[in-house]
Structure 1
Amino acid sequence: MTGKVLTLFLVAAALAAGLAMYYLQVYAFYEDVPENDAEIVLMRAGEDTAEPIPFETFEGIDADSSPIRYRACFSTEVSLEAARERFEAYPDAAPRVAPGWFSCFDAEAIGEMIADGRAGVFLSEANIEYGIDRVVAITEDGFGYVWHEINDCGEKSYDGTPLGEDCPPRPES
């Protein structure tokens, strides 16, 4: 009888721990980004100047637990063609998967639009945190998506590769 009780206790504890970890990863650390706190800017091509773009219907989430958890969705009057002419493109960007409950951000669909040219990705802010860039995708149907990308210096920093001369020194923590 003692073995059954112990087994039941271990299974219940493992299940509770698993559910707690799932909740913490998917729900607990995220906070809504209020629309009145949001500003969407894009870097002008060939310049070090950011330009705010008009937007509506903003939804955003962020978490302090990781610099790459930021996601946002919005609609804009800026056309994809105008954005391609005016703003700095961000090559090889791939949207990161958002929690399932944040339904406006479908990373797979956004990635498909980028791959087939129905969306373009542009630099919003370089090194928003060391090694992390904020990027914005604008689609041909007037929607926009924001997420954070690990840049080259960030990848080198996180995998232990020497940074080289192209990367700024890492800030002291």
Structure 2
Amino acid sequence: MNGKIVGGFLVLTGLVAGVAMYWLQVYAFYQDASFTPGDEIELTSIESGQPEPILVEGITGIDGDSSPIRFRACFRTPMTLAMLTETYRIYPAPTPLTAPSWFGCFDAPAIGAALESGEAVAFMGQENIHPGVDRVVAVFADGRAYAWQQLNGSEGNE
């Protein structure tokens, strides 16, 4: 009898801990990202080397204080790819990071495939937005655009 109680307690504790860890990883540390003046989507200018705000529409995003690479955003831009490629720095090695399943507008595998095929172009949003982390912005020819933050290999992240 005591063994069943102890075993049941251990199984129940394991289930509760597993559910809590899942919830903490997928939901707990995310909040809506702010896109107020000073927190806009920016691209790094070829000419000045400085990030500049770009025109965006219908932006939605998530971020989390617990990690600098939790940021994801989906939006549209009226700016053409031709103008963007002539004005802003291309990002050399974009790797879209997956977003939580509940943030449905950001499909990292599809964005990655589009970047590989040339259907989309990745730009340097802001270098070292956090130490060792770059903000990357991928733009499609039809104006769809996505932003995320990824490790850049500096600051001991190699």
TM-score (norm 2): 0.94
Alignment of 1:53-68 (within 5 A): 53-68=54-69
Instruction: Using the TM superposition, give the Cα deviation of residue 40 of structure 1 relative to its aligned residue in structure 2, in angstroms.
Output: 1.1
2:127 maps to what in 1? 126
Instruction: Using the TM superposition, give the Cα deviation of residue 117 of structure 1 relative to its aligned residue in structure 2, in angstroms.
Output: 0.5
Instruction: Using the TM superposition, give the Cα deviation of residue 84 of structure 1 relative to its aligned residue in structure 2, in angstroms.
Output: 1.4
1:171 maps to what in 2? none
Gaps of 5+ in 1: 160-173
Say whether 1:4 aligns with 2:4.
Answer: yes
2:43 maps to what in 1? 42
Higher mean C-alpha deviation, range 14-23 or range 25-34 = 25-34
**Structure 1 residue ranges (4+ consecutive) displaced by more than 3 angstroms after TM superposition:** 34-38
SS in 1 for 2:121: strand
2:75 maps to what in 1? 74
Instruction: Using the TM superposition, give the Cα deviation of residue 46 of structure 1 relative to its aligned residue in structure 2, in angstroms.
Output: 4.3
1:84 maps to what in 2? 85
Q: What's the Cα RMSD here?
A: 1.3
Alignment check: 8 A CA contact 1:29 1:64 kept: yes
Q: Which amino acid aligns with 1:123?
A: M
Say whether 1:145 aligns with 2:146.
Answer: yes
Q: 2 CA distance for matches of 1:80 and 1:16?
A: 49
Q: Which amino acid aligns with 1:64?
A: D
1:99 maps to what in 2? 100
TM-score (norm 1): 0.86
Alignment check: 8 A CA contact 1:46 1:88 kept: no
Q: How many residues align?
A: 157
SS in 1 for 2:113: helix
2:115 maps to what in 1? 114
Instruction: Using the TM superposition, give the Cα deviation of residue 35 of structure 1 relative to its aligned residue in structure 2, in angstroms.
Output: 4.2
Q: Which amino acid aligns with 1:102?
A: F
String of CA shifts for 1:59-104, please: whole Å, max 9, x gaps: 1100011110000010110122221121100011110000000001
Identical amino acids, percent of aligned pairs: 46
SS in 2 for 1:19: helix
